[in-house]
Amino acid sequence: MTIFDVFSDGFPVMGASWRDASCLTEDPEIFFAGGGVSRKAKKICQSCPVRDQCLELGLLNDERFGIWGGLTRAERKALKRSPA
């Protein structure tokens, strides 16, 4: 299974396609492991053209596990708490 399989339901992405996601050729486990592997996942996310949409999806679904849009669960929680 690839990350694209997760998003094959057609979640809309403005200006880019999920097919352009940097993670498509990576092992999905990289994005759901901790420690040093999380750093590798976050590095992959840095230049991803759908990073913002991925982060939005993670926030909207209150994802508890994994790296979404380059952020860990703790970082996403902090982002939600911070004033806009």
Does 22 appear as a known binding residue? no
Residues with Cβ within 8 Å of residue 17, at least 6 apart in sequence = 50
How many secondary structure helices (H) and strands (E) does the chain include? 4, 0
Does 54 appear as a known binding residue? yes
CB 54 within 8 A of CB 45: yes
Does 74 appear as a known binding residue? no
Does 45 appear as a known binding residue? yes
Q: Could you tell me the two tokens for 35?
A: 């420690």
Could you list the residues known to form a binding site for [4Fe-4S] cluster, using ranges: 23, 45, 48, 54
Could you list the residues known to form a binding site, using ranges: 23, 45, 48, 54
